[in-house]
Amino acid sequence: MKFSKAAIVVGATLLCGIVLSACGSGGGNSSKSSEILLWSSTTGPDGEKIKKTIDEYNATDPDFKVKLVSMQGDTFTSKLTTAGKSGKGVPDLALVASEALPTYKNQEMLDSWDDMIKGTELDRSNYVEAAWDTGTLEDSQYGIPATMGSWVMYYNKDLVDKYIPGALDDGIVTYEEINQAGEKAKADGVYSFGYTWGMQNYSNLYQQMGGQWQDQDGKINIDNEYSYNTVQEFKNLYDAGYMVPDGEDANKLFANQQLIFLPEGTWMLSNMEEISDFEWGETFTPQWDAENIVQGSGVDQFAMFKTKEERSDEKKEGMVDFLTWLQANQLEWVKSGANPTSLAMLDNEEYVKMPQSFLLKTEKGQAAISVNAVDGLSYIFDEYDNRSWDMITGKADIKDTFGEIQKVVEEKMK
């Protein structure tokens, strides 16, 4: 929607190298032959929820237990890239972001899942299609989907009824309705739109307006009319006084009932659950066209990095067993606000009562899911986040800024 190494004496290291070729340095692939090593960049409370899920699996006494190693994002990326380039010390499984998967694949760091999952329950038909397809690169499966974090929208039910009654009858709020609500609420000192994470708002509206991340030649291209119009819409909301100003805390304003609509991530669920002064809800991120819903999401993928220390057939079977078990056993994991990607979770009564489950419970919700997984998007989003408020507040020209972003991204992708 994240390790400490014991001191290894020379004698032990030598013995490991002679007796057990699978014993790698740096917390690598096979520190224990009967253990599956999983790396994740999820830490804190969310990481604890993943750990509880792993503990539940290990309690089933599988032949290969899973060992979870969580680390901060920068450390995770650095260690995984270093290990991936050498093929030494890699984990058996790595939980990587959807947009990072094609990068690792293009750098020839990944093994395909194709042979391992053939004839198993790890099949496209058992997952949200958009989540599964994110892991399909060049007609081979390089990722098995885990959970999905989405840019949704929280709303204050009382304020909706007061300023824009009926807007949520179809479960969809358009930018036109946000403007209408803002016009009525402004006199009361209430905002209608919170702009927190810029790239999430931009990427959703950009695609809703018809924008594509790549041109006809397959090259990244965001210096276009869709980008200009997207930011212009945010600027219009800002200029009209409907948007929470830069520097003010939109989440705090929402909790204080001074904000009607708060586009935010599913990962903010725990914050929302602390609210007791009013009734809130969760629905699709704001839409440009109610007839063409685009719901931006990120899908973490279980990737298998190439290793010079061969994994046994038994271990590979153990990895498949774990991912198969996970299909129907993600409840603890998704309490963070994430959605599962396996359709088996729709049979879990507790999950389907969670507010984020609206994305999976209907065909409309599943069809709306759009996963950003184009190589180079992370560069665009970083640059956009650094410059978006300058464009919205008029400190920088929108067209000129996107021209600059385009040049920076092209240079970084060389």
Interval 336-342 mean pLDDT: 96
Mean pLDDT value across the chain: 91
Q: What is the mean pLDDT of residues 379-396?
A: 97
**Predicted structure pTM score:** 0.87
Same domain, 280 and 391: yes
On whether residue 121 sits in a domain, the answer given is yes
101 and 206 belong to one structural domain: no
Looking at residue 358, what is its pLDDT? 95
352: domain CATH number? 3.40.190.10
Asked if 287 and 301 sit in the same domain, the reply is: no
* CB-based contact 28:89 (threshold 8 Å): yes
Reply yes or no on whether the pLDDT at 307 is more than 50: yes
Q: Are residues 277 and 382 in the same domain?
A: yes
User: pLDDT for 186-223, tens place per residue?
Assistant: 999 999 999 999 999 999 999 999 999 999 999 999 99
Q: Are residues 388 and 288 in the same domain?
A: yes
**Of 101, 144, 109, whose CA–CA distance to 372 is shortest?**
101
Region 313-328 average pLDDT: 98
Same domain, 347 and 381: no
Do 245 and 290 belong to one domain? Answer: yes
Domain assignment present for residue 20? The answer is no
Dmax over Cα atoms in the chain, in whole Å?
Answer: 77
The region of weakest confidence among 71-85, 150-164, 286-300, 368-382 is 368-382
Same domain? For 135 and 119 the reply is yes
User: Binning pLDDT at 50, 70 and 90, where does residue 32 land?
Assistant: low
In a domain? residue 277: yes
Q: What is the mean pLDDT of residues 133-150?
A: 97
14, pLDDT greater than 90? no
Q: Is residue 107 part of a domain?
A: yes
**Co-location of 187 and 266 in the same domain:** yes
Residues 6+ apart with CB under 8 A from 260: 155, 156, 159, 160, 163, 164, 178, 181, 185, 190, 191, 192, 193
Q: Within a domain: residue 24?
A: no
DSSP states of 73-121: HHHHHHHHHHHHHHTSS--SEEEE-TTTHHHHHHTT-B--SHHHHTTSS
| Domain, as residue range, for 380 | 151-295+372-411
Q: How far is the first Cα of the chain from the last one, in angstroms, to the nearest whole number? A: 29
Q: Is residue 10 part of a domain?
A: no
264 and 376, same domain (yes or no): yes
Answer yes or no: do 329 and 392 share one domain.
no
Q: Do 397 and 329 lie in a common domain?
A: no
Considering the domain boundaries, does residue 112 fall inside one?
Answer: yes
Domains identified in the chain, total number: 2
